[in-house]
Every structure is written in C-alpha cells, then in structure tokens.
Structure 1
Amino acid sequence: MHTLDILAIALLAFFATGYLVLGGADIGTGMLMPYLGRTDHERRLVIASFAPFFLGNEVWLVATAGVLIGCFPDLEGELLTGQFTVLVPLLTGWVVRDAGLWSRGRGGGRAWRAVCDGAVVCGSWAVALSWGLLLAALLTGKPYEAATGSVAVVTALAVAALFAAHGLGFATLRLTGLPYERARRPVGRTGSWQSFALTGGLLGALALPAGAGLPLTEHAADTATLTLLVPALLVVTPLLVAAQVWTWRTFRHRVTRPSYL
C-alpha cells in the first residue's frame, strides 16, 4: 500500500467521522423537535440551537463524497448502484429537511410553519434511518447490496436512536427554558458535555468498522490522480477544521431567542 493510498483512506475516514459526529447533532435535534418544542416559539428556539451549525456540518458530508468520488471512483460507482434504494431516501430526507428549515421563516402563517416543521422532523428521521441501513450493509460486509431483514431493521433503529440521543446531548448544551428541561430529563445525571461526548464517540466509532469492510486499496485511483488530489485535500482540511472551531466558539452560548429560520 502506497503512502498516498493511506492518506486518501485516512482523509475519507476523517471526513466521514466528522460528519457523523457533527451532523449527527443537528439531525438528532431535528428528530426530537416535537418533543423539545411544544409551541411555535419553542420550536423556533430548537431550530435556533442548531441553525448556525447545520450548513457547516453538511460540508463534511460533501467532503466525504468528494474524497470518495475523486480518490476511489470505481468504488463510488459500485456503492451508488448497490445502495441506490438507500441513498435515494437519504438524499430526499436531506433535501426535505433543509427545505423545511429555509422555508419556515419565509412568510406564511401557523399552518405553513407546521408544514415546515413536519418537513424538518420527517427529513431528519429519514436521514437517520437511511444512515442506519447504509451502515448495516457496510458492517455486515455487503456494501454492494442494500441491507434487508431483521438485522437491517434493528441496526437502522439503533443508529436512529443514537442520533436522537446525540441530539439530546447537543440540546442540553444549547437550549434554555422548558426545551432545555425536556432535553435534560432523559440525559439524567450525566453531564451535558459527557453525554454529548459519549454519543459522539459512539457515532464516530461506527465509521471505522464500516469503512474497514470496504475494499479501498483495491479501488484507489491511479497515482497521478492521488498525487494531485491528496495534497490539495491536506491543504483544505485544516481550513475546514479551523472554520468549524470558529463556528462552535462563536455560537457556544445558549440560545435565548429564535433565529431567522
């Protein structure tokens, strides 16, 4: 295995892990919005808790896809074909959720906001369950076919529950008032940061065994392509991390009023 191959695999693992940990926070919070926010004002507070983060978190998913397409093009094509029935609901849920977030504050009355809130919740659940099905296929060593049967169902539900638990930990760090109390209740005596770190660690840990089942070295791009892409990615990666750190530091305080969404 060449050094460039190792670096490409490490970058893919880094971006995928980063997305599950960071993106899992806003996905999980969106899944639980009906529980955390009982009124229109409270739901706006819940959205405000992750509004500054969700676009930046999605960059990690885009980066993961970019590394897969650029550094492992043959594998990307085979995965897309084999997991088509999982990727379609995943992408659909992603689009529906983001459309609900962007459209909620763009006019309309209470009924319109309820529809947008429903899009956020349903889209978040679709994304979480789809990731569970995709991880089930990867963890069982069948990356080229969609997972089926009881193992797929149990894995999808377990991953979705982990996303939701991660969202609860994030909510306890960001919310105030009654939404905070509702988020804190299931967390119990576990501290907010401890809960968030634990669920984040579990989500991140899923990426490693899932990726280990992929034939990455056999499907790596040629040396000329990796020589061009890997150094560029190594330059961009610290900038992405720095932007993420700045975002979390800037919006580290709890939300006390709704955002523009």
Structure 2
Amino acid sequence: MSKPPAGAPKIRPGKAVPPRRSAGGLGDRRQRARAPLLFLCVAFAVLFSGLGVWQVERLFWKLDLIARVDARIHAEPIPAPGPQSFTAPPTGESEYRRVELDGQFLNDRETLVQAVTEQGGGFWVVTPFITNRGFVVLVNRGFVPPERRAPDSRADGQIEGPTRLIGLMRLTEPGGGFLRENDPAADRWYSRDVAAITEARGLDKLVAVAPYFVDADAAPMAGGFPVGGLTVVGFSNNHLIYALTWFALAALCIGGFVVVWRRRV
C-alpha cells in the first residue's frame, strides 16, 4: 500500500456526518403541506357538520313525521274538510288524516287509474262522491284487476243510494306517473290528479270539488270488488346509515390530517 504524500492532511476514520437540513427545505415542506391540510379541514367541516349532523336532524324529523302520520291513521274519523277550506290547497299535515263522508256515489263518472299493488297490476276505481253537505270528493274506492275494469263485471260492487264511508285523506297527484303523463283525451290515467279528473268528468260544473281525494278503507264490498284499504303508508328512513357514513368519512379526514401534519416536520 502506498503512503500518502508528505504534507497531505490526515484522514481519521469515523462515522459520516449527515448533511444538516437547511431552513429553506423545511420551509418548503411546510408550505407544500398547507394546501392538503386546508383541504382536509374543509372536508371535515363539510362531512361532519354539513352532512353528518344534517342527516341526524333529518332522522329525528322523519321519526316525528312517522309518529304523527301513524297517529292520524289510527285516530277517530273527522268530517272531511268542506268548501270553506278549498281556497288553500291541503298540505302534508292533512295527508293520511282519517275522515268520514255521507252522501252517494256518481258511478257513471268513475275514472280508472292504472295501479300496481300487492295484488298485482290493475286499476284504482276513482269515483266522485257527492256529499250531503253539498260538495264533491273524489274517492279511490279501491283496486280492480284488468278483467274487472268494466263496471258491469263488478255490478254488485256499484254502491247506489245514501252511503257513509270512512277513508284516508290524500293529496292530489298531478301530471301522471313515472315517465308517463296522464292523457285525459284518451282517458288514460297514471295518477290520481284531482284537478285533471275533475275537468275531464265535468264535475266542476256541478258543485264545489275538494282539492284532495280519499282512499276508502277496507270495508267489505259486495262481489269482492273494488278492494279497498290498500293504501301504502311507508317512509324511507335511511338517515342513520347516511349519518354514520358521513361521520366515518369525517374521521378519515382527521386521520389524513395527522399523517400530513407529521410529515411536514
């Protein structure tokens, strides 16, 4: 082995000293971390307060709505609202209220509205009911299958004369059904549109017509048709699942914040 030349500095063995971090390099990392940290803060606020808390509020609102509707359905029937209330359209607070009517059906002016029920596809039989109080209410008497759409095929169920009925007050269904519009000229109906049916049957030329309709209850019917009492009262209530999902995503934002914060130093 050759010796180092005379006068050369001596190199002592030892551990390599890592280069010191410059203040500028640390500052750059902190600067680059600001954007993701700000994004995670905003995302957390939106997911937690804007969505999660909002879904919790919706959950309690939905539970209260279900309780109120259930109370209406099982309450004692009240007289159906008369002409003095027709100037203002009924609201959701009126829907599913149990009401009673005295009068008689105008069977010659019934309307068949396409329906899909637990008994299959067919029609709702919507018949005007002129009350003893001098106004008309459209009554959804119930369901009939296609082979019973003609009135003479269910003649025993065509109630004549003075009648008392009980049912649930419902809000009008304007326009039509899913992707299908009502066609009054062709007498094709996909929803219980009170105003359109009233005009098509010339009921507005008789007396005042209620802006709502009534679903008849399940009172036994001679001949078995129409089948009443098929009103479906159900409310989608997935708010708790949605709330937990948003809160979980907000927790992930907290985890992401911690990771980015540690890497910035």
Task: Tell me which interval the TM-score lies in, with the shorter structure as reference length.
Answer: under 0.3
- TM-score, normalised by the number of residues in structure 1: 0.22
Higher relative helix content = 1
- Larger RCO, structures 1/2 (Cα 8 Å, 6+ apart): 1
Q: Which has the larger radius of gyration?
A: 2
